[in-house]
Structure 1
Amino acid sequence: MNEYLIPVTISCTLITLSYIALKLRNRILGSMNEMVVVPLYTGIASLLMILLPITNEPAVTDLRHIPILMAGLQLGLPVALLSTLPPAAFILLIDGVRGVPDLLVGIALPAFISALMHRKEYRSGFERLRLGDGVKIIALLFLVKIALGFFTLPVPWPEYLQLNAYLFVISLLCLVVLVALHNDENKNWLLQRQLELEANQDRLTGLPNIRSFLEIAGNMLKKRQISILMIDIDNFKNFNDTLGHLQGDHLLRETGHLLRGTIGEKDYIARYGGEEFIVMCDSVDSRRLASLASRLCHAVAAYPFAGREIQPGQAISISIGISIAARPEDDLYRLIAEADKALYTSKRSGKNRFTFYESSTSATS
């Protein structure tokens, strides 16, 4: 009875270690995790499997290859090869040069074979691991091992085939469970990411929402000076009331997309609410800000929006208010309020223009 419980116990141990690894991966993100933490943990798991053999007769059999197979399938060859270092060092320390064949077949070979089935989408976590890829890896690995074993024959040929068939079944069952476990955990991670994205994204325009903007701008303002641009679509109520809310929503989406493509790479735009947008600019130079605001006004006025002919001047236009932080760690909410005041100065001064809060003077675009 104990002989049948041993592989079950070892498999459960391996699955538990893999579950912990999944939790670590989702909590510790970044290149350091992939290139240091994951290979180290995977290598230790493989080493533990060496210390927990399933059988010793007629030859030593263990599951050292499973953690490395999972690393190669999910993260590719570099991570899989790094994962081989701990078990390889242990084998060389115990067996010396005599352990090299065992190292190549039991450790290095699984790393290369699993990497053949790796897809770049697996690394990002946005695609489920395909069970078929795992089955192909196990089948290919044991076909190669059987072919190599034909020339070495550590045990009689019938016993060697029986031993590998036994290990193939156990490995396949472990890999099926691990792939299912990974996909289930990854599904929860994706759901969490989706919820975070929805919490920080405006559903209508696809732009970040004001919640996300306040967090990003607040963190930036702690480090350096920034500028705030408040942008409002002129006469939006007339457009919305005349053509309907669907056309109004379409105008908001197109305007948001146009503004995002016009601002600088280091600038950050969000939908403030209604027909208003807000931009965080990394520049505090008034000439550069004036140039940016002018480009935004011209880009919107020149764009062939559907329904623009019903607006004054037969064009869609925007008004902008600009506020510049006097120092790092300035009050973000005060900057937004100042930009908002400057925006309404632009509105009262004829629209289709920008105004700096400091001087309260307008410039027609």
Structure 2
Amino acid sequence: ISWSLICIWILALLIILLITQLRNIFWYSGAFFCSCYIFTLFVLMTGQDTASYSWYQARLFETISTLFLIFVLFCDVFTLYRQSNTKYLNSYQNSIRDPLTRLYNRSYFYDSFTALLPAIASGHPVSVIVSDLDHFKRINDKYGHLQGDKVIQFVSKVLQDSVRQNDIAARIGGEEFALLLVNTSPEVAQSVAERIRLAISQHDTESSLNQLPEPITISMGVFTAIDLSISVEECVRRADEAMYRAKSAGRNRVVVWE
């Protein structure tokens, strides 16, 4: 019986070695497990009876191999869980972010605005800033769409660096962006928009590290929601209307909806 068991374990070890070629730690643990049992059976065959010292040695190797295999299985399960969780997080982030700028996308912007309605009801105003690059079509026509993408990415970086961590910066159109400023009054929102406008207009090709082929400007509209009498869509529409007023007034300016 012992020799039969040894042959079976050797066969199992050979199959693992030939088929898996020990591609990862799981198969290493399987080969180690088989080797330990083969060694255990040889140790048992050298003993005179089950109460001999050899029997305790065999049990020790058997226990060590079993615990090692259990440990490896737990490590594999944890690794698979971590990889699965990472893939889920990456997939979720890709679903809510714009692929070019890594700002949030339009749907996430509206979902976040809707989630802030309880805060507005509690007396914490939420300001919306809608902005649009001035004469961006000329950039695409003159320098090409690849350069246009670099301009979009540069502006997105300025917007992201200009807001707090709990604020939302989103790309809601081709060259149109929106900011959602939590617990922000109209005066503060106007100040933030003005700071962004100046930061963008003051850059040129050299200071932007060749991301801007020429100086650009941006027009921005601001609206602040202070109660629930106005819907989310209407808030964004009013900020958008204020932005178009800024364009009509000569561009490169901030207009607060009144």
Aligned to 1:8: none
Please list, as runs of the form range in 1=range in 2, the aligned pairs for 1:196-235 lying within 5 A after superposition: 196-224=92-120, 225-235=125-135
Code of the aligned partner of 1:252: I
Q: What aligned pairs does 1:215-364 form with structure 2 within 5 A after superposition? A: 215-224=111-120, 225-304=125-204, 305=208, 306=210, 308=212, 310=214, 315-328=215-228, 330-358=230-258
Using the TM superposition, give the Cα deviation of residue 174 of structure 1 relative to its aligned residue in structure 2, in angstroms: 2.0
| Correspondence 1:182 to 2:78 | yes
Alignment check: 8 A CA contact 2:101 2:152 kept: yes
SS of corresponding position for 2:169: strand
Measured against aligned partners, the alpha-carbon deviations of 1:6-43 in whole angstroms (never above 9, x if no partner) come to xxxxxxxxxxxxxxxxxxxxxxxxxxxxxxxxxxxxxx
The alignment status of 1:172 with 2:68, answered yes or no, reads yes
Distance in 2 between residues matched to 1:178 and 1:283, nearest whole Å = 46
CA distance in 1, matches of 2:246, 2:237: 14
What is the rounded CA distance, in whole Å, between the counterparts of 1:288 and 1:265 in structure 2?
16
| Aligned-residue identity in percent | 24
- Three-state SS of the structure 2 residue aligned to 1:280 is strand
Q: 1:293, 1:354 within 8 Å by CA — same for their partners in 2?
A: yes
Give the stretch that moved more between structures: 203-212 or 280-289: 280-289
Residue type at the aligned position of 1:178: F
* CA RMSD across the alignment: 2.8
Cα distance change on mapping 1:190 and 1:160 into 2, 3 Å: same
Q: Which amino acid is 2:74 matched to? A: L
Deviation of 1:195 after TM superposition, in Å, equals: 1.6
C-alpha distance in structure 1 between counterparts of 2:184 and 2:101, whole Å: 27
Contact 2:151-2:211 at 8 Å conserved across structures: no
Specify the code of the residue in structure 1 equivalent to 2:119: K
**Aligned partner (choices 162, 187, 193) of residue 89 of structure 2:** 193
Provide the rounded CA distance (Å) in 2 between the counterparts of 1:204 and 1:307: 14
User: Aligned partner of 1:195: which letter?
Assistant: S
SS in 2 for 1:242: helix
Q: 1:241-292: per-residue Cα shift (whole Å, max 9, x none)?
A: 1000000001101110111111234321111110011000124422212211
Residues 162-217 of structure 1, C-alpha deviation per residue, up to 9 Å, x if partnerless?
32211111112222233233333433333222221111010000111111111112
Structure 2 residue runs of 5 or longer lacking an equivalent are 6-23, 30-50
Secondary structure, counterpart of 2:116 in structure 1? helix
Q: Which structure's relative contact order is higher, taking Cα pairs within 8 Å and 6+ residues apart?
A: 2
Q: Taking structure 2 as the reference length, what is the TM-score of the superposition?
A: 0.72
Cα distance, 1:316 vs structure 2: 0.8
Q: Is the 8 A contact 1:227 1:283 kept in 2?
A: yes
Give the direction of change, closer, same or farther, for the CA distance of 1:329–1:217 in structure 2 (3 Å limit).
farther
User: For residues 53 and 127 of structure 2, what CA distance do their matches in structure 1 show?
Assistant: 77
Distance 1:165 1:307 in 2: 65
Of residues 247-256 and 323-332 in structure 1, the stretch that sits farther from structure 2 once superposed is 323-332
Other-structure match for 1:115: none
Q: Secondary structure at the match of 1:207?
A: coil
Structure number with the higher helix fraction is 1
Aligned equivalent of 1:161: 57
Q: Alpha-carbon deviations, 1:284-325, whole Å to 9, x = none?
A: 422212211110110001123437565xxxx21110011111
Asked if the contact 2:126/2:185 (under 8 Å) is kept, the reply is no
Distance of 2:158 and 2:226 partners within structure 1 = 29
1:226 is aligned with what amino acid?
A: V
Distance 2:218 2:154 in 1: 13
**1:309-351 deviations in Å (ceiling 9; x for gaps):** 65xxxx2111001111131474111100111111000000011
TM-score by length of 1: 0.52
Change (3 A) 1:266 1:329: farther
Partners of 2:165 and 2:65 in 1: how far apart?
54
Ranges in structure 1 where 5+ consecutive residues have no aligned partner: 5-129, 136-154, 359-365
Residue 87 of structure 1 aligns with which residue? none
Are the equivalent residues in 1 in contact too, given 2:127–2:186 (CA < 8 A)? no
Residues 229 and 279 in structure 1, CA contact (< 8 A), matched pair in contact too: yes
